[in-house]
Amino acid sequence: MKKNNIIKMLMLALSVSIFVPIWGTFHAYIGINNAWVAFVSAAVFFAAGHNIREVVKVSLSHILGMFWGLAVLYIIDASLLNINVILYMFIVLAIFGFASVLITNIGISLVSHTPSLFAGWAVAFAVFDGMPISEWKGSCLDVGLALVIGVWFVGVGISQFQMLLIKVLKIDDEDTELAENRNEQENILHKNSKSKAESKLDLYIASYSKPNENSQQETTNADIDEIKSGIADLKHTILDTQQFANNLHSQQSINDVKVKILGICGSPHKNGSTINYLKRALAAAEEMGNVEVELIELAGKDIKPCLGCKSDKCGGTCRINDYMQELYPKLRECDGMILASPSYFGTFTGQLKLFLDRLRVMRHSNFELGNKVVGTLAVAGRRHGGQEITNIDLIQSMMRHNTIIVNDGTAVCQLGATGWSHTFDDPTIKSEDDDYGMQTAVGVGKRVAEIAKVIKGSGLQNVTYQYNQKIGKR
């Protein structure tokens, strides 16, 4: 459990330990005998996520539920139909049960909280069943008050007190902050949209849609100005709404979206420097949270050259049975990948070329890699040993898959990660000492994860494209 969550839990425990005994000890002094009822309604409020905005709805639903239960008891007691008692009860309960869901879900939005209605109903059965109808009136107030107090004092009181403690202790509570931020933005929006643009536009619509007695009357400049200002207000409201939606989306989903990133190392050396940079990039991606990473080394793996099957024969499953068959499902499942290669004469290695060519089958299967995020990483023996061109070669190859190519993000915003293994300059210098190169690797890792989350969060990763081999044919 995170430290903040432990503190939040302790604050809740403290709040409960204050509010519950106050109610449990003093309820009799305000004339409430059925103290337990309050705990039932507070429990329902808590179980429903103790949403303060729902509190009126929840309270009213409890009361409605109580009367609902009384009505059922009354009708059962009255035995209006001359049939078997059990059958009669069954029919009454069936009708009321069915209607309770309809009534709380259709039309009456103010009291549409089904769990609270059921709780009120259950309480009515527990308290009033077997009690003479003449005594109902006296107990109604007692039970009704307890139901409402349960929600407001025990329910709202506890959660508000807990929030207060969290604020006083200045706990960095992401959820609370997010909720408050959202409330604030909703209020601003609501205010803007209702008071300004919407009410103004309502006025315009009302005045301009009314049949005008002087239909000949010409529109004056003042009218036009007024309409322009209305449209400007409306535009702002729309922009605010868009901004609001964007903020909500990015704040909520970026952290929560789970993505999988593959790191594919094209170096023939298992313990070379390329893999070091790649490990750093994957670690940075993982640090973003909710990111699963997997390192795939092509070194020593059996990847045969592409046979260049005719286009219409390439698709679905590649007919070559080698290590690529293990990789295809992983590639299909992942949300992003980092391709890493040493620079060999200014381009990527043969291992990667074999791998990249064999991806054609995925391209021909309606772009199975479409909208996956790709970052690149190149390591050369010299300071300027072709890292950037190696990255470009990787990029241009992956572009043919409708993938989304990213750079090294905010690190330095260049063409992918560029490592320097010092192979020829000074073999005693290790890749770990290459601060700049490592920074770019971190940048690529983060950027791939970030954009993969954005794409996945937006649902765009599911887009499928139709591969059209006829394009360009005469």
Ligand X SMILES: Cc1cc2nc3c(=O)[nH]c(=O)nc-3n(C[C@H](O)[C@H](O)[C@H](O)COP(=O)(O)O)c2cc1C
Size of the site for ligand X (CB under 6 A): 18
Euclidean distance between CA atoms 264 and 325, whole angstroms: 15
Closer CB to ligand X, residue 193 or residue 351? Answer: 351
Q: Does residue 273 touch ligand X according to CB under 6 A? A: yes
Query: What CA–CA distances, in Å, run from 122 to 97, 119, 148, 444?
Result: 12, 5, 15, 58
Q: Does residue 382 touch ligand X according to CB under 6 A? A: yes
Euclidean distance between CA atoms 455 and 259, whole angstroms: 10
Q: Does residue 376 touch ligand X according to CB under 6 A? A: no
Closer CB to ligand X, residue 89 or residue 299? Answer: 299
> Looking at residue 431, what DSSP letter applies?
G
Gyration radius of the chain's alpha carbons: 33
Interface characters, 249-268, with ligand X (x: CB under 6 A): ------------------x-
Least distance from ligand X to the Cβ atom of residue 264, Å: 13
Euclidean distance between CA atoms 161 and 181, whole angstroms: 19
Binding segment for ligand X (CB under 6 A), chosen from 3-11, 339-347, 449-457, 465-473, is: 339-347
Binding segment for ligand X (CB under 6 A), chosen from 146-154, 229-237, 340-348, 454-462, is: 340-348
Residue nearest to ligand X (CB): 385
Q: Does residue 345 touch ligand X according to CB under 6 A? A: yes
Q: Does residue 279 touch ligand X according to CB under 6 A? A: no
Helix pair angle (435-458, 221-256), 10° resolution: 110
Give 444's contacts (C-beta < 8 A, 6+ positions apart).
281, 338, 375, 376, 377, 406, 407, 408, 409, 411, 416, 417
Q: Does residue 182 touch ligand X according to CB under 6 A? A: no
Beta bridge partners of residue 262, listed in sequence order: 294, 337
Least distance from ligand X to the Cβ atom of residue 282, Å: 15
Residue appearing with tokens 């139901």: 147
Least distance from ligand X to the Cβ atom of residue 302, Å: 19
Q: Which member of 200, 236, 269, 330 binds ligand X (CB under 6 A)?
A: 269
Binding segment for ligand X (CB under 6 A), chosen from 103-111, 123-131, 178-186, 379-387, is: 379-387
Euclidean distance between CA atoms 449 and 286, whole angstroms: 8
Euclidean distance between CA atoms 389 and 110, whole angstroms: 64
Q: Is the CB of residue 122 less than 8 Å from the CB of residue 68? A: no
Token pair in block for residue 352: 């990667």
Closer CB to ligand X, residue 276 or residue 371? Answer: 276
Q: Does residue 379 touch ligand X according to CB under 6 A? A: yes
Closer CB to ligand X, residue 379 or residue 442? Answer: 379
Binding segment for ligand X (CB under 6 A), chosen from 37-45, 67-75, 375-383, 444-452, is: 375-383
Q: Does residue 386 touch ligand X according to CB under 6 A? A: yes
Closer CB to ligand X, residue 386 or residue 416? Answer: 386
Token pair in block for residue 445: 């890792």
Euclidean distance between CA atoms 87 and 386, whole angstroms: 86
Closer CB to ligand X, residue 100 or residue 421? Answer: 421
Q: Is the CB of residue 348 less than 8 Å from the CB of residue 393? A: yes
What residue ranges bind ligand X (CB under 6 A)? 267, 269, 272-274, 342-346, 379-382, 385-386, 421, 423
